[in-house]
């Protein structure tokens, strides 16, 4: 019963398939009542293929509007033949583009929070804006509400604003419970000895990239948190630190300060980049959460503003000399302590020279002029002159050579390996001047004398391989295949470095040599990466530090990451995470971190993911020193989907 003119009709005991969002609607009677509207009786809907879907929703009366919503009375959710949930009325999105609606909930159990349920709702406001609202129910802590707003402006400027708030039922005020146990044990954390007496807990964060006239750009970063424990308490989950930091890194290319850092950086940066110059102007506010919460005088240093002009290394006219430039003006402000203005101009002049192809010599001299004006203030403890200035120069001589040899090999497609050897000697000199009278805001204010000789040896290994590419069928009629251009892959780097302090030697210091530094990178393929660095004392004849990380993976998506870090008498930790794709669409993942020096476990987790054609299931157990929790999430494709991914540490290869 179809009328092609009016685009209406009726199907009995049929199936309607909406291809764009993979919706199956099966019913005793399905009527097309308009160009994009349908009604049906005694129906089932699903995004699963086959006559026996893994999940379906059945109901009595259905009304559907494409690019709108569907409504269903007496709706029941079924898992195979098992009824799971009933509601007398259901509204669901039926949109081909981004669609508003409930996303998959996140459910968990925690020692510190009890039963947890996180329900997100996504609102597709327009093609250039959307919002997500979160209700986070915690049995023992209360209801945390959150919101996220993302937008793209007409000039392609982008931004994201996020906010969460909780009226916490539990506080860490140092009080004792009936069993004599301190609140700090139950509701505090061991990484600081600061109490958290507040119940009002919140986290506001925002990033915005703005295009301005004349090729200027502005970047705004805001990160304001209620207390020093918040980001540790809410590190995981939809609105947790981990998810937020990953999103900001992926979207804006810059993340957040570490979750356990009680000083949060807020900045507004305006910059302009030319071929040889750059201009940066920013206000930077370091929000010390502990000082702010305790309402005490805050000595944290702020930059209000910083203006910097830089010039990259470039020739002076057509002559043999080069120069670069770093110049800045900063007003340093803090509630308690010295504050004031500083101007700094630092040009550097180079005279590079190459002796045939064997030796490169580059002497350079830097000339630095710095001025300070310290603001008078009744709380200021500064006893020096209000206005002061300093002139300083430094000398640097860089000698290096590039040697290489190409070896013929036969290993699969690889036919050549080049070994490049770069010995380098750098001499640096900064004279001693008395700087006690100057303010001390950062490293520019107190520049130590230097008379240092640094020598290093860098080895680089690059392979060359041929790759055969398939041609079109016409070309294949002429010849089977032709060689493509050679592929070059820098797969290894080894660097050794040490310094000799001439000033220490002149003062008869028994240890003028620095530790020997070593760095090693290996990337045999995209499936194996290794990085290591170490420092070895020639006087103690032992390692001061050593760190090594390795990543193994395969084309199936299996992955193993292992990292060991050591600093003499300070720390020693080991971390590993593993992802394995099992049979029948199952994946397992786990991670483990341990403080070897203290003999304590820092963190461990174990999880499983099942990815079917029309739904997925993710369950994870997390065990930390201060909390243990169990969480899981079910996603039904087409009805409240949420991305499921396995995160782990990675190695950033230095080879491009």
Along the chain (656 residues), what's the average pLDDT of each consecutive run of 10 residues?
Answer: 72 81 84 84 88 87 80 86 81 68 84 91 89 95 96 91 96 79 78 86 97 95 95 91 93 94 96 96 96 88 96 93 97 91 97 91 97 77 75 97 92 89 97 91 93 97 76 44 72 97 92 96 91 95 95 92 94 94 89 92 91 85 86 74 52 58
CA distance 52 to 82: 12
Q: What is the pLDDT of residue 475?
A: 45
Greatest Cα pair distance, the chain, in angstroms, is 104
Q: How far apart are CA 75 and CA 43, in angstroms?
A: 10
Query: What is the spatial distance between Cα 24 and Cα 45, in angstroms, rounded to a whole number?
Result: 6
pLDDT on residue 277:
96
DSSP reduced 3-state for 303: strand
Residue 25: its pLDDT value, please?
A: 86
What burial class does residue 52 get, using C-beta atoms within 10 Å of its C-beta: 0-12 exposed, 13-18 middle, 19+ buried? exposed
Among 565, 561, 629, smallest CA distance to 592 is for 561
Phi/psi of residue 306, nearest 5 degrees: -120, 130
Question: Would you state the pLDDT for residue 644?
Answer: 46
The H or E element containing residue 21 is none
The answer to whether 140 and 170 are in contact (CB under 8 A) is: yes
Q: Where are the domains of the chain?
A: 2-94, 113-296, 515-656
Fold of 515-656: Porin (2.40.160)
Please provide the DSSP assignment of 231-278 as one string: HHHT-SSTTSHHHHHHHHHHHHS-----TT-SEEEEEEEEEEE-SSEE
> Measuring CA to CA, how many Å separate 330 from each of 78, 346, 373, 551?
64, 14, 11, 43
Residues constituting the chain: 656
DSSP secondary structure, 605-628, as one string: EEEEEEE-SSEEEEEEEEEESS-E
Paired with 30 in beta bridges are 11, 40
Burial profile 254-263: b = 16 or more Cβ within 10 angstroms, e = fewer: ebbbebeebe
What is the model's pLDDT at position 652?
A: 60
Residue 398's Cβ-side half-sphere holds a number of Cα atoms within 13 Å equal to: 10
**Other C-beta atoms lying within 10 Å of the C-beta of residue 215:** 10
What gap in Å lies between CA 357 and CA 402, rounded to an integer?
Answer: 8
Cα–Cα dist 249/205, whole Å: 13
Instruction: Tokens 């502005």: give the residue.
Output: 218
Query: How are beta strands 217-225 and 263-273 bridged, if at all?
Result: antiparallel
| Distance of alpha carbon 616 from alpha carbon 48, whole angstroms | 12
Cβ burial of 408 (10 Å; 0-12, 13-18, 19+) is exposed
């Amino acid at each position: 019963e179809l009328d092609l003119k009016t685009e209406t009709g009726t199907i009995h005991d049929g199936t309607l398939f909406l291809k764009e969002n993979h919706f199956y609607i099966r019913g005793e009677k399905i009527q097309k009542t308009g160009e994009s509207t349908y009604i049906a009786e005694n129906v089932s809907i699903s995004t699963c293929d086959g006559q026996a879907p893994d999940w379906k929703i059945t109901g009595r009366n259905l009304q559907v509007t494409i690019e709108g919503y569907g409504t269903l009375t007496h709706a029941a959710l079924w898992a195979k033949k098992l009824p799971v949930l009933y509601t007398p009325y259901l509204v669901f999105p039926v949109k081909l583009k981004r669609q508003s609606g409930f996303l998959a909930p996140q459910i968990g159990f925690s020692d510190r929070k009890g039963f947890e349920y996180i329900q997100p709702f996504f609102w597709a406001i327009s093609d250039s804006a959307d919002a997500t609202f979160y209700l986070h129910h915690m049995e023992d802590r209360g209801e945390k509400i959150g919101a996220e707003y993302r937008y793209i402006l007409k000039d392609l400027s982008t931004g994201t604003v996020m906010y969460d708030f909780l009226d916490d039922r539990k506080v860490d005020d140092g009080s004792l419970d009936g069993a004599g146990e301190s609140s700090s044990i139950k509701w505090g954390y061991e990484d600081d000895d600061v109490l958290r007496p507040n119940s009002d807990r919140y986290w506001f964060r925002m990033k915005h990239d703005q295009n301005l006239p004349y090729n200027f750009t502005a970047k705004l970063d805001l990160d304001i948190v209620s207390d020093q424990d918040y980001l540790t308490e809410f590190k995981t989950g939809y609105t947790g630190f981990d998810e937020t930091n990953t999103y900001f890194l992926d979207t804006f290319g810059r993340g957040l300060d570490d979750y356990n850092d009680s000083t949060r950086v807020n900045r507004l940066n305006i910059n302009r980049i030319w071929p040889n110059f750059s201009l940066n102007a920013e206000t930077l506010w370091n929000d010390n959460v502990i000082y702010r919460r305790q309402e005490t005088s805050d000595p944290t240093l702020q930059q209000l503003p910083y203006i910097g002009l830089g010039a990259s290394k470039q020739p002076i006219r057509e002559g043999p000399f080069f120069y670069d430039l770093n110049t800045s003006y900063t007003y340093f402000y803090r509630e308690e302590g010295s504050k004031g203005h500083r101007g700094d101009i630092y040009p550097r002049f180079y005279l590079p020279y190459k002796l045939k192809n064997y030796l490169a010599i580059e002497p350079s001299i830097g000339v630095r002029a710095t001025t300070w004006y310290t603001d008078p203030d009744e709380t200021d403890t500064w006893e020096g002159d209000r206005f002061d200035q300093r002139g300083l120069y430094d000398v640097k001589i860089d000698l290096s050579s590039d040697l290489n040899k190409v070896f013929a090999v036969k290993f699969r497609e690889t036919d050549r390996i080049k070994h490049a050897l770069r010995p380098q000697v750098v001499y640096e000199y900064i004279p001693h001047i008395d700087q006690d009278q100057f303010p001390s805001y950062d490293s520019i204010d107190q520049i130590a004398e230097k008379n240092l000789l640094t020598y290093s040896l860098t080895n680089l290994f690059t392979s060359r391989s041929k790759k055969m590419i398939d041609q079109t069928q016409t070309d294949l009629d002429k010849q089977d295949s032709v060689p493509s251009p050679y592929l070059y892959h820098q797969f290894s780097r080894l660097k050794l470095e040490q310094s000799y302090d001439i000033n220490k030697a002149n003062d008869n210091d028994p240890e003028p040599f620095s530790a020997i530094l070593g760095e090693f990178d290996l990337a045999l393929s995209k499936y194996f990466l290794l990085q290591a660095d170490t420092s070895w004392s020639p006087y103690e004849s032992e390692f001061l530090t050593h760190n090594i990380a390795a990543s193994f993976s395969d084309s199936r998506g299996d992955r193993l990451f292992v990292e060991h870090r050591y600093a003499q008498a300070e720390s020693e930790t080991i971390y590993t995470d593993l992802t394995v794709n099992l049979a029948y669409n199952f994946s397992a993942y786990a991670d483990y971190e341990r403080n070897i020096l203290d003999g304590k476990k820092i963190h461990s987790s174990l999880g499983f993911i099942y990815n079917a054609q029309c739904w997925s299931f993710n369950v994870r157990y997390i065990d930390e020193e201060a909390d243990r929790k169990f969480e899981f999430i079910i996603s039904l494709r087409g009805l409240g989907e949420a991305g499921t991914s396995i995160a782990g540490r990675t190695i950033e290869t230095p080879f491009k």
